[in-house]
Structure 1
């Protein structure tokens, strides 16, 4: 029986130096695995495409179609860029058995890609599997989650022990598993997906610019009969939020609020979304009262609660905040 094929997709947006480091790690870990690497530049506009293309040629990575650098032509966000890479397929024109999604600021360690491939190969009902993610300092990042809910939103915003204990089964971040485990969803920094999942779901919903796109895909995968898993032995080092700047946000960008609203309305309906937002506002207000009394440090970006309220009020009266393709293309079509 032939080895399953893997198409590794690395998305670049104005991080060429980090992307080259991710390519180097991916090239090493793809040795002995049947497949290729595609680097997608999401219209960086900073010379990234030329830098990556020239570096790939200079380092011999493009020989035997091992690696290609492609230009998506527009910055549609994470999901749109990854969809573009998946549509590109293998150089032969064939659809790979698995797609491996890797962030530009993430570097798989020894065996990381192979372990994900082997798990999907050996587990017929599994559709997606993610890695154990850690920072350069070795500290584990939380990447195994439950689906968001009204109770989960309330618990996260309240930041209160008694509430967390009462709603323990709704807390979105799971205790990081120490064995291979089924989870609701996992982060897209290092995520392998069976091609059948993409065929069944149509890939990422490109109306999510950033955030919640993996959550939405994993939910749709479940509806199509595919489960998501966490593989703790597949180790990947990830800096995190380099392209988005999330770690240094002074204000939460509108696209985060847009993605949150879209996730809830798409998967639960308008009434549930209203209740979840009211719960988030109520719990956030309780937290701010505690901060005043107990002099707790600030935990959210500036004006988060006010921005949340204004976004909820304004959402019904405005169109999308970022470009959306006019005519979505089947994920398995040839982009050429």
Structure 2
């Protein structure tokens, strides 16, 4: 029998967009056994009431709207419903995460489910993500490393060529293939893998949490695969507003630092920060020689230093 799926949509102050994502999810779940849970991450703006009222009025039989009780971030919000049983009893075979600003094609969820059904060794499967302008987003990645921090900060062609196998962003695969990690905008996860890894690490408020989960899954023998036949349209940063910021918010730097400390140890995190600083200084030296302005974002390098060399990660 095909596997059952529990779809989770996390809302934070984007009620209209979440309702739209819910409509798309309901349509995409028509041929899939399971349920849908919308978790309101303590929005405090009436989102929970609006979404719950809409789901009731629309008579969605398999939709549940719940309140997290506090905004602990992306991972904590999804963990609220991650291990919930199905209404008829028993646990779902898969948990599918869908961003509140992501809209799956009618067959997108089924194709991820079918892929995991036919590849029992795979722990996570992600979709091809397309922007509202039709541009395919880069959502398949290598794990960040000390070398990748230097390469990414240096932004220098010869260095990138030399260190190409460490570049974090992968070319978008044209066929299903294994990747280190994939963006969580549309990500299906095997429940047995989640039971072994324990879901998201809630010390990540936002960003790097799916990177960490995929890394833990890989260590436990569950790789991540990119499945381009599953297509989802994604707006991106609707809740965070990251696209419009001159530099990432403090919690991005905290999450980055926690990721390196957790996965590479204190020495590895120190090396990653020093590598980033060295690469950034090299980039700015090149800009000065070429007499052009470097675009790091105001305070970006100082934030790397401040958060990277603090005694412990802040929330």
TM bucket normalised to smaller: over 0.9
Deviations 1:209-241 (A, max 9, x none): 111111110111011111100001110000001
**In the TM superposition, what is the alpha-carbon distance from 1:298 to its structure 2 partner?**
4.8
Superposed, 1:1-336 pairs within 5 Å as: 2-61=1-60, 63=61, 66-296=62-292, 298-313=294-309, 315-316=310-311, 321-322=314-315
Secondary structure in structure 2 of the residue aligned to 1:230: strand
Unaligned runs of 5+ in 1: 323-336
Secondary structure in structure 1 of the residue aligned to 2:83: helix
Provide the C-alpha distance between the structure 2 equivalents of 1:285 and 1:3, rounded to a whole number of angstroms.
53
**In the TM superposition, what is the alpha-carbon distance from 1:297 to its structure 2 partner?**
5.3
Unaligned runs of 5+ in 2: none
**In the TM superposition, what is the alpha-carbon distance from 1:300 to its structure 2 partner?**
3.1
Secondary structure in structure 1 of the residue aligned to 2:59: coil
**In the TM superposition, what is the alpha-carbon distance from 1:289 to its structure 2 partner?**
2.4
Secondary structure in structure 2 of the residue aligned to 1:88: coil
Provide the C-alpha distance between the structure 2 equivalents of 1:73 and 1:301, rounded to a whole number of angstroms.
35
**In the TM superposition, what is the alpha-carbon distance from 1:277 to its structure 2 partner?**
0.3
**In the TM superposition, what is the alpha-carbon distance from 1:87 to its structure 2 partner?**
2.8
Provide the C-alpha distance between the structure 1 equivalents of 2:168 and 2:249, rounded to a whole number of angstroms.
21
Of the structure 1 ranges 14-23 and 89-98, higher mean CA displacement relative to structure 2 is found in 89-98
**In the TM superposition, what is the alpha-carbon distance from 1:251 to its structure 2 partner?**
3.4
Partners of 2:31 and 2:110 within 8 A in 1 = no
Provide the C-alpha distance between the structure 2 equivalents of 1:75 and 1:292, rounded to a whole number of angstroms.
43
How many residues end up aligned between the 2 structures?
315
Q: TM-score, normalised by structure 1?
A: 0.91
Provide the C-alpha distance between the structure 1 equivalents of 2:290 and 2:85, rounded to a whole number of angstroms.
55
Q: TM-score, normalised by structure 2?
A: 0.97
Deviations 1:172-225 (A, max 9, x none): 001110000000000100000000111000001011111111111011101111
